[in-house]
């Protein structure tokens, strides 16, 4: 393990694998993973400072050091102009999700007393794969009344009120706190979110968990945070011109992060950080950042103290990156 010092280089991480009853097989095959459990893989946490689930640096001067340790040693170097979360954590968590089955109908609280940690969960999804006819649930149908929804949210009748959204690869779906949602079977995506794991399940499709028992639901807590003013999600999409350098297209923005898609050709380009910490998740192609190779699934933290980084694609296919900027 390297001696402690400011992390003035792009940081790669070892991923954390999550067994989920609703998980699938696509991610484990694509990433060629040797799973440490028998059940399906649901999530890979690629960059995390969540308590007890902190990712560890892979390679470089900080090899073997956790993101938590780096934050404790020199958060200013990591964050630059970015703000930590309300509980002092690195503010963004990046994961890949493989939905072999439908995720529960759920909701996340915002910052404040409705979250047991005080930190809420706003997130955004970047669609990587979807089975024919599959999509996501994000929002309630227009005209849904509080009285009717509260009476039916805890059983299969909830389906009558959920907005089904068609998606395809390259679509981005923004999911603010207070938005009722579910990822449907057959969807694989990359998620950028606040560093939080607070999820209130309303309905779990009457299935059993990995232990053979019904999974816990949190209907009352969920209903307390539903924002009926939020309409169904409208996916955004980045359109590129296939230039040989670096192209950037904005996807989503909120008080916690900005999200953009990058496409980098063989000539590459320079990413200016403007002093903010950036997360870079490779969602297609291959290339390199500095002297480190990039391939699908790699997630890199560019510290806010770095003014710029050089990124290169290759001659065969553009390097595609989902970029999160911690605000």
Say if residues 236 and 259 touch (Cβ distance below 8 Å).
no
Listed in sequence order, the residues at least 6 apart from 190 whose beta carbon sits closer than 8 Å to its beta carbon are 94, 95, 96, 97, 125, 126, 128, 281, 283, 322
HSE-CB at 241 with a 13 A cutoff on CA atoms is 7
pLDDT at 245: 87
| Strands, sheet with 181-183, edge to edge from the N-terminal-most edge strand | 162-166, 135-140, 181-183, 105-107, 200-203
pLDDT at 6: 63
Alpha-carbon distance of 236 to 219, in angstroms, equals: 30
Alpha-carbon distance of 283 to 240, in angstroms, equals: 15
Q: What's the chain's Rg over C-alpha atoms?
A: 19
pLDDT at 3: 42
pLDDT at 4: 52
pLDDT truncated to tens, each residue of the chain (327 aa)?
A: 454 556 689 999 999 999 999 999 999 999 999 999 999 999 999 999 999 999 999 999 999 999 999 999 999 999 999 999 999 999 999 999 999 999 999 999 999 999 999 999 999 999 999 999 899 999 999 999 999 999 999 999 999 999 999 999 999 999 999 999 999 999 999 999 999 999 999 999 999 888 888 899 999 999 999 999 999 999 999 887 777 789 999 999 999 999 999 999 989 999 999 999 999 999 999 999 989 999 999 999 999 999 999 999 987 888 999 999 999
DSSP 3-state assignment of 144? coil
pLDDT at 5: 56
pLDDT at 316: 80
* Domains of the chain, start order: 11-235 (2.60.120.10), 237-326 (2.60.120.10)
| Strands, sheet with 308-312, edge to edge from the N-terminal-most edge strand | 269-272, 308-312, 287-289, 292-294
DSSP state of 325: E
Alpha-carbon distance of 285 to 113, in angstroms, equals: 42
The pTM of the full predicted model, rounded to 2 decimals, is 0.94
**Catalytic amino acids?**
201
């Amino acid at each position: 393990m390297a001696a402690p010092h400011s992390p003035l280089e792009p940081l790669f991480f070892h991923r954390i694998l999550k067994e989920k009853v609703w998980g699938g097989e696509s991610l484990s095959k694509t990433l060629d993973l040797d799973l440490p459990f028998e059940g399906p893989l649901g999530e890979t946490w690629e960059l995390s400072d969540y308590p007890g689930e902190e990712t560890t640096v892979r390679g470089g001067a900080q090899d073997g050091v956790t993101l938590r340790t780096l934050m404790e040693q020199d958060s200013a170097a990591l964050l630059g102009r970015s703000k930590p979360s309300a509980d002092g954590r690195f503010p963004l968590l990046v994961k890949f999700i493989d939905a072999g089955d439908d995720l529960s109908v759920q909701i996340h609280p915002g910052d404040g007393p409705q979250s047991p940690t005080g930190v809420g969960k706003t997130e955004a999804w970047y669609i990587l794969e979807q089975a024919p006819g599959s999509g996501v649930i994000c929002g309630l149908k227009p005209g849904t009344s509080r009285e009717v929804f509260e009476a039916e949210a805890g059983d299969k009748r909830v389906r009558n009120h959920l907005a089904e959204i068609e998606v395809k690869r390259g679509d981005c779906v923004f999911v603010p706190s207070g938005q009722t949602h579910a990822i449907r079977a057959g969807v694989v995506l990359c998620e950028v979110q606040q560093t939080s794991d607070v999820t209130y399940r309303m309905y779990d499709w009457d299935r059993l968990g990995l232990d053979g028992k019904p999974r816990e639901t949190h209907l009352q807590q969920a209903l307390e945070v539903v924002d009926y003013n939020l309409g169904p999600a409208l996916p955004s999409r980045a359109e590129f011109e296939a230039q040989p350098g670096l192209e950037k297209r904005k996807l989503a923005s909120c008080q916690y992060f900005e999200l953009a898609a990058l496409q980098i050709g063989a000539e590459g380009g320079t990413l200016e950080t403007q002093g903010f910490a950036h997360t870079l998740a490779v969602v297609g192609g291959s290339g390199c950042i500095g002297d480190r190779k990039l391939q699908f699934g790699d997630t890199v933290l560019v510290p806010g103290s770095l003014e710029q980084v050089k990124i290169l694609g290759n001659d065969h296919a553009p390097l595609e990156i989902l970029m999160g900027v911690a605000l």
